[in-house]
A and B are shown apart, each in its own frame.
Chain A
């Protein structure tokens, strides 16, 4: 099969995207610089860094340490705050035809809801991704994602505050007792989809100083090192959906995707969308390259459409 004949259309809950590739939250900075390497409208969507109610400076430096197969970061959710984002960043992205998924977080459930209400209906915004937990939240003492009941309340509050036609996705942390329980709580509360995974908590010690390498101490691990962790989460939750233990919604898979084969593996595990995160730091053209490689991988297996690959790992035949 000719790779150009492969249909990459990616239905994603209420959205139908031209292809399944997006950027993982925070990994393309303010996204503006990404446009120097990738036409933003060529991606299925772009995901912003997490936007919070107010400007946040984030953690001191050093904020990043390379480990053998991954990257440990502790940024502390730096960002401009919702006002500056809406005035200065979003219009620029919208003008370039980007389909923008805005990652949001607040320190309280009401803050999430207020952000959702504010973003609803703005040009360019095609969805919201709720950053309900990650190592940065743990620093703030925020552990929404660790608790199914709190996750439920949070998603429900956002779902009520956001316009009904604006999809709301919950981004899950991997270091929880049962990711299926959290996923189920989010979907029952009205989440239109699930993003997984956020970074994995980690720590690096500088061999010279014998102190943590990062100013914040612990951080979040991303990159190829976390791919098996991420694939397990996607596989588990997709299996639970197939078994009817929670309603079926699309999953955005991420964690160490570096090439088309990785993207295909996430699809096979059950992901209907693929986010490229820290691979962008090494290769700013990664999402387009991976899209191209994915096309070739699908064609070489005789798969005519991306959707044919979703969940293949669960089939018995």
Chain B
């Protein structure tokens, strides 16, 4: 985990994007450390827990972080901690990557896609959401590649269905060697299952409630198989939010499987 910074951050910009708002914050120390997949956490003044928010972009030269929040416009100063968590691994060699994003959680994918492209990679893109309004970063995806497929659960944009449904087909179509996916656990579980059949790598960014975001509260755990083959609870905010999808015990999220260490 990059060393996080706690900051009272002024909001320099707040623009509506579909169902979301993009906040631009001036946080030079955090901006220079944030990588795609890191997240930020915000806190209200008298709240007891914090709110995890995806970082859409970090511009080290401008010293800015762009966050995508689900509700309302926000004004500053905001109690911010960033960057938090473990980001997406970005290989030095060129890769053919399929990026899969669900709603708000697609926010880090454009910056990731740019880094992969800069290293000579080729991209395919799958974006889904319950409704057209809840889609995010479709234009940014189209700016990166022609291979963009949009899926909505109510059919209000693109194909009708869940974003995980066309994953195998899309990965084959671009001959992907790796999938980067971001979304809630149920969507990722289906995505991971589809990718597992293809025998390629899948990095999954789990979007779940993170009461503290700092690794303190132990409320955010999911069962994960370690390098030693032993399953343990891992904290999404610290060991994640990005996991090797083959290590996450998707069917056991929310349970304590009998073979988990300490069960």
CB of B243 closer than 8 Å to a CB of A: no
Complex Cα spacing A64 to B218, Å: 9
CB of B219 closer than 8 Å to a CB of A: yes
Q: Which of B174-205 contact A (CB under 8 A)?
A: none
Sorted nearest first, the 6 A-B pairs with minimum C-beta distance are A64-B219, A55-B262, A33-B215, A281-B212, A57-B262, A63-B219
Chain A: residues with CB nearer than 8 A to chain B?
26-30, 32-34, 36-37, 49, 54-64, 66-67, 69-71, 73, 75, 78-79, 81, 215, 223-224, 278, 280-285
Contacts beyond the supplied A61-B253, A63-B218, A282-B43: 20 A-B pairs with Cβ under 8 Å: A27-B217, A29-B218, A29-B235, A34-B216, A36-B214, A37-B214, A55-B261, A57-B261, A57-B263, A59-B256, A61-B219, A66-B211, A69-B48, A78-B221, A278-B48, A280-B212, A280-B216, A281-B50, A282-B50, A283-B79
Interface magnitude class on chain B = 35 or more
CB proximity of A66 to chain B, nearest CB, Å: 5
Complex Cα spacing A223 to B220, Å: 19
CB–CB A81/B262 < 8 A: yes
Inter-chain contact total with CB atoms closer than 8 Å: 112
B222 CB contacts on chain A under 8 angstroms = 61
CB proximity of A262 to chain B, nearest CB, Å: 13
CB–CB B218/A71 < 8 A: no
CB proximity of B242 to chain A, nearest CB, Å: 17
CB–CB A285/B218 < 8 A: no
CB of B260 closer than 8 Å to a CB of A: yes
CB–CB B233/A58 < 8 A: yes
Q: Which of B28-76 contact A (CB under 8 A)?
A: 43, 47-50
Q: What residue of chain B has the Cβ atom nearest to residue A63's Cβ?
A: B219
Query: Can you identify 17 A-B contacts, CB atoms within 8 angstroms?
Result: A27-B216, A27-B217, A29-B218, A32-B215, A33-B1, A37-B214, A57-B232, A60-B254, A60-B255, A64-B211, A73-B219, A78-B221, A78-B233, A280-B212, A281-B50, A283-B43, A284-B81
CB of B119 closer than 8 Å to a CB of A: no
A282 and B49 contact, Cβ closer than 8 Å, known pairs A62-B219, A73-B219: yes
CB of B121 closer than 8 Å to a CB of A: no
Contact partner of B218 (CB less than 8 A), chosen from A69, A78, A224, is: A78
Complex Cα spacing A312 to B209, Å: 42
CB–CB A63/B221 < 8 A: yes
Complex Cα spacing A282 to B81, Å: 10
Complex Cα spacing A61 to B233, Å: 11
CB proximity of B47 to chain A, nearest CB, Å: 6
CB–CB A58/B262 < 8 A: yes
CB–CB A281/B211 < 8 A: yes
A32 CB contacts on chain B under 8 angstroms = 215
Complex Cα spacing A26 to B261, Å: 19
CB of B247 closer than 8 Å to a CB of A: no
CB–CB A281/B262 < 8 A: no
Contact partner of A75 (CB less than 8 A), chosen from B214, B219, B263, is: B219
A56 CB contacts on chain B under 8 angstroms = 262
A63 CB contacts on chain B under 8 angstroms = 218-219, 221
Q: What residue of chain A has the Cβ atom nearest to residue B45's Cβ?
A: A282
CB of B142 closer than 8 Å to a CB of A: no
CB–CB A223/B233 < 8 A: no
CB of B6 closer than 8 Å to a CB of A: yes
Q: What residue of chain B has the Cβ atom nearest to residue A225's Cβ?
A: B48
CB of B172 closer than 8 Å to a CB of A: no
Q: What residue of chain B has the Cβ atom nearest to residue A54's Cβ?
A: B262
Complex Cα spacing A34 to B214, Å: 8
CB–CB B215/A281 < 8 A: no
